[in-house]
Structure 1
Amino acid sequence: MFIDRARLVVRGGDGGRGVISFRREAHVPRGGPDGGDGGKGGDVVLRVDPQLGTLSDFRFTKEIEAEAGRPGSGRNSSGRSGADRILNVPPGTLVIDRATGQTVADLTAPGAELVVARGGTGGKGNARFATSTRRAPRIAEDGGKGERREIDLELKLLADVGLAGLPNAGKSTLLAALTGAHPKIADYPFTTLVPNLGVARLDDRELVIADIPGLIEGASRGLGLGEEFLRHVERTRLLVHVVDASRPDPLQDIATIDTELKSYGRGLDERPQLVALNKIDLPEAREAAPRIARALADRGISSVAISAAARQGTDDLLRQIFDRCPPREAASSPAPRERRIAFAGGARDWHVKREGQAFRIEGDRVERLASGIDWGSPDAAAYFQRQLIRTGIERELRALGAKEGDTVRIGALEMEWSEQAADE
């Protein structure tokens, strides 16, 4: 099944917790901290797979989470990092941030990778907090939470040439004649319900040609199947209008398609165009073709009379397609195996706000540290207080009016604000 849109919730794995541990070995009189760090959580990564042509892998998968990091252990042993979750997508996949509606990446290069949800960092074990004056720290960090994002994936086929036209104009038959592809073909409108691709070759050159489902008047406003598939010709460098020359008014048919391309926007109406006057194996089409060609020539539009079914004129059309198709622009997408981060983090990772008569401190790092403190240890509590001062959180609390005895919440913890502790 051809699936060209997907909506996903992705989450990086949580980081593993750092641990509080002390050496207990014979002949080591004073021991010392040896708690290891937690492992990093796995990332959720999109990777371009040139063998894929649709987003059908995500038809039933809506929520995806990478593996969590493992906790650290004694003897300075770090926890194992969580495995990345690799999601293969076809070339031409757009990644859209649902929170902002902005396109954050256009994935076209085979092998290119994009991190859409970063795993949390591993928490520090107590060995990391040892100093010359703090020799037995009862401090460790929780692992960081993995990022959670809601994203839309949208596929725009990577075709060089698009075949556009009304239903039953013969686009699928022409695609088969030009490329040897085998799309579904029948003598009724809307036979093609999904885009089809084929590769045309001439001498040592090749082009990818897309057969787009038939357009009708109003397609750019969502009527018929047009709006769903017009975006698949956005990347094309040449449009071939396939016209049934046996119809009563082929020039009006061409005008209808031109109107829809212009209404859709995105520069489709400005693409180089070529008209294929199809079905000249029929007497009425053969008779009308010269008149239509002259009318088009008067407007500066080139045309070729063909019969896709009888393979008449298709070689000439193929040569003109290769001659008229503009060269590809230099690739602007990531090089193969390059991994980029889709969503950059902010410069400040904490926030203080009033919560009724209390205050709440939010932020991944400070919440992790607070949950890993041994609050029964005066040394650990004093260390935490110094971190609030160093990061500017204590100053922000004062600016918001925090005073002696006020309640301060950090994650699930609730404590009493002490002016004396803050001034130490």
Structure 2
Amino acid sequence: MSLTRKAYRAAILHSIGDPADVGIDASYEYFADGLLVVEDGKISAVGHAEALLPTLPGDLIIEQYTDALITPGFIDTHIHLPQTGMIGSYGEQLLDWLNTYTFPFESQFADKAHADEVADIFIKELLRNGTTTALVFGSVHPESVNAFFEAAEKLDLRMIAGKVMMDRNAPDYLVDTAQSSYTDSKALIERWHGKGRLHYAVTPRFAPTSTPEQLTVAGQLLAEYPDVYMQTHISENLKEIEWVKALFPERKGYLDVYDHYQLLGERSVFAHGVHLCDAECARLAETGSAVSFCPTSNFFLGSGLFNLPMAEKHKLNVGLGTDVGGGTSFSLLQTLNEAYKVMQLQGARLSPFKSLYLATLGGARALRLEDKVGSLQAGSDADFLVLDYNATPLLSYRIKQSKSIEETLFVLTTLGDDRTVQATYAAGAKVHQR
């Protein structure tokens, strides 16, 4: 028997498809008394305990969790490391918020010791909230990305990050140049991309803060390293959209700016997309690009309501993002609570199983990592969570009234938060215990 083989027994639930494509009933697997078998950091089997137990050695260690639900680790497709210390900053919409709070905070990341300290806090918060994979913006400083990857590597986490590229329309103390952003990004790709479970993302902040020259070199990096990611922002705020039109009058619209510089593709993730039109959704889907839905942030900054039904119509890949620090919680459970309200305000529904999909397999598909994370299929990385039905007195009382796994799941996404996450596992190792 492998010494690294272990099993976990609890109720188990995971997504196996998008409810919008396959229907709700075919979108998940649920085992009321389930067993998850982990070997060498990967999942080797999942199923009903009574069916799997006879196939396993008698001396296999089985960890039992009662009144708990095992799910895949959560995937956050949009979050900012340098904004950890300014989460919950008062009273601005996007553009003023950047100038008032974000840029001064990000300037501190030129100091590696500061970057190390924040990276440690940031990763602990992710894991405490059950997030095992995230697509992360650093600051303009390579130190921010080095600090994050060093901390993630120690825990063997599946993480993606990139240094912000920003050569205009920001304070002098915070801009790079087209050439320095290319050189710095290239060095970070060479050092980190594909090392362990780490991946690099080319990261132009958004169209207004990059010159055409810088957007050109961003496209060049993607051509030189076809398996790296690209992350940026799009159509978050109406004033931002007007600004992009003024800066790029020769382009058809906001998305067309990125399209022109060859930044769309299967590993490109565009945060927000609150004000995308039908044609832009169609073009994103056609190129295999994805959108990160960030409801908490969109409410907090007054940006608007993301049109998930329109994205579904175009079969556009959508993941979920906390967008800390515009978002006010690292918790994807809290983010789903807000996502439900976004849909309600548009006269649409968000089923609990679609919520589960967005937080797990949907995020994995947006990141083209569905063969590695996002579900509990055999062969996947053993990144999973234990959610505690008795995390708070109210949650415990409410779940006792529940008549189905659908209702229980909805209650978890409505009343749940970091306290609900009893344990977080990454590559089979326990990386957080409440």
Please confirm whether the aligned pair reaches a TM-score higher than 0.5, indicating the same fold: no
Q: Which has the larger radius of gyration?
A: 1
Q: Normalising to structure 2: TM-score of the pair? A: 0.29
| Structure with more contact order per residue of length (Cα contacts < 8 Å, sep ≥ 6) | 2
TM-score where L is the length of structure 1: 0.29
Higher share in helix: 2
